Amino acid sequence: MAREVEVSKILIFGGTGYIGKHIVRASVSLGHPTCIYACPTGPQTGPSNLNLRREFRSVGINIIEGELKEHEKIVAALKQVDIVISALAYPQVLDQLKIIDAIIAAGNIKRFVPSDFGCEEDKITPLPPFEEFLEKKRKIRRATEAAGIPFTFVATNCLAAYFINVLLHPHSPHKEIVVYGDGEANAVLNYEEDVGKYTIKVANDPRACNRVVSYRPKPNIISQHQLISLWEEKTGRSFKRVYVPEEDLVKLSQTLPPPENIPVSILHSVFVKGDLMSYEIDDDDLEVSTMYPEMQLTTIDQLLDIFLTDPPEPARAAFG
């Protein structure tokens, strides 16, 4: 039997961003009155962002345009909703302290989900550039806890379409695929649309209040070699595997200037060390595929089929 989802009002920060748009669409599809707090449009606003805003307004989403420094505007927006989800990009992670201050002032928020769409930062210790990146996210977690705000922290692991584009480059003709380390470490790749749906579900779930929820479905645990082999099988092609040794990634993390040293440190953590699978999920821990067995998730196998017919466009993560 499908679990009944409480119809709460949801405000999403960063709702026009890479993962934010999937969370917004999931919120609407699950029947929640949905608002977005977004930067005002201007000459710097790209056509894709403008089109996305038009799409959202056409389905009844209220877009509140404002800056994160506009405390009173944020407080007023918060007083109209029940749940706050932040999908702000890395350069704005510490700006979430302003959201926390506004949540305290509003005094009515039932759940806050900060922008934590990646690894479980409290359980890994990566190379220094990535560690510094994660320390900012930990600061938001600790500030949320200290403020006594009801929260759900999500460890969504890798956003699958993004990393398939990074690893396989399916949009460009090539005969070689780069393998980081020995290619054997397991990672977890979850389709962005599923991440959006799971995030709305856990934000409304009493079981997830003041808990960390991991997104680790077994069908989406895969190594680089397995991913490449599956892609070769689907495309009927054979690729030469070019290996980048671990020591090369470590050296790049030490010599590249910030923020260019962050992506190589992430590749090292996820695909060389296997940090996403470096800890056990116990029976007492929360994991989305066991929490919501009725939800049909998109497996890596199915996502590669999507890449064959209607490949998601490559995206660039913002680190600086």
What tokens does 107 get? 């005094």
User: For residue 73, what pLDDT is reported?
Assistant: 98
Across residues 87-111, what is the average pLDDT? 97
Largest pairwise CA distance in the chain: 58
Over the stretch 35-49, which tens digit does the pLDDT of each residue have?
A: 999 999 989 899 999
Over the stretch 186-199, which tens digit does the pLDDT of each residue have?
A: 999 999 999 999 99
Chain mean pLDDT for the chain:
95
User: For residue 6, what pLDDT is reported?
Assistant: 52
What tokens does 114 get? 């900060």
User: For residue 4, what pLDDT is reported?
Assistant: 52
Q: Contact, 120 vs 48, CB < 8 A?
A: no
Is the predicted pLDDT of residue 152 greater than 60, yes or no?
Answer: yes
Is the predicted pLDDT of residue 3 greater than 70, yes or no?
Answer: no
Across residues 208-216, what is the average pLDDT? 98
Which residues contact residue 90 at a Cβ distance below 8 angstroms, ignoring those fewer than 6 apart? Answer: 133, 136, 317, 318, 319
Is the predicted pLDDT of residue 2 greater than 60, yes or no?
Answer: no
Confidence grade of residue 137 (pLDDT, cut at 50, 70, 90) = very high
Across residues 137-149, what is the average pLDDT? 98
User: For residue 250, what pLDDT is reported?
Assistant: 98
Alpha carbon distance 177, 34 (integer Å): 41
User: For residue 318, what pLDDT is reported?
Assistant: 78
User: For residue 303, what pLDDT is reported?
Assistant: 97
User: For residue 47, what pLDDT is reported?
Assistant: 94
CA 198 to chain centre: 11
The beta-carbon contacts of 17-21 under 8 Å, at least 24 apart in sequence, are 17/87, 17/88, 17/89, 18/89, 18/159, 18/162, 18/192, 18/315, 18/317, 19/87, 19/117, 19/159, 19/192, 19/195, 19/196, 20/87, 21/52
Alpha carbon distance 105, 98 (integer Å): 11
User: For residue 283, what pLDDT is reported?
Assistant: 86
Q: Which of 21, 137, 197, 201 is catalytic?
A: 137
User: For residue 127, what pLDDT is reported?
Assistant: 98
Across residues 159-186, what is the average pLDDT? 95
Q: Give percent above pLDDT 90 in the chain.
A: 92
Is the predicted pLDDT of residue 146 greater than 70, yes or no?
Answer: yes
Residue at token pair 């067995």? 293
Confidence grade of residue 320 (pLDDT, cut at 50, 70, 90) = low
What are the C-alpha distances in Å from 275 to residues 134, 156, 187, 214, 264?
A: 13, 13, 8, 13, 14
Over the stretch 216-263, which tens digit does the pLDDT of each residue have?
A: 999 999 999 999 999 999 999 999 999 999 999 999 999 999 999 999
User: For residue 5, what pLDDT is reported?
Assistant: 47
Annotation says 201 is catalytic: no
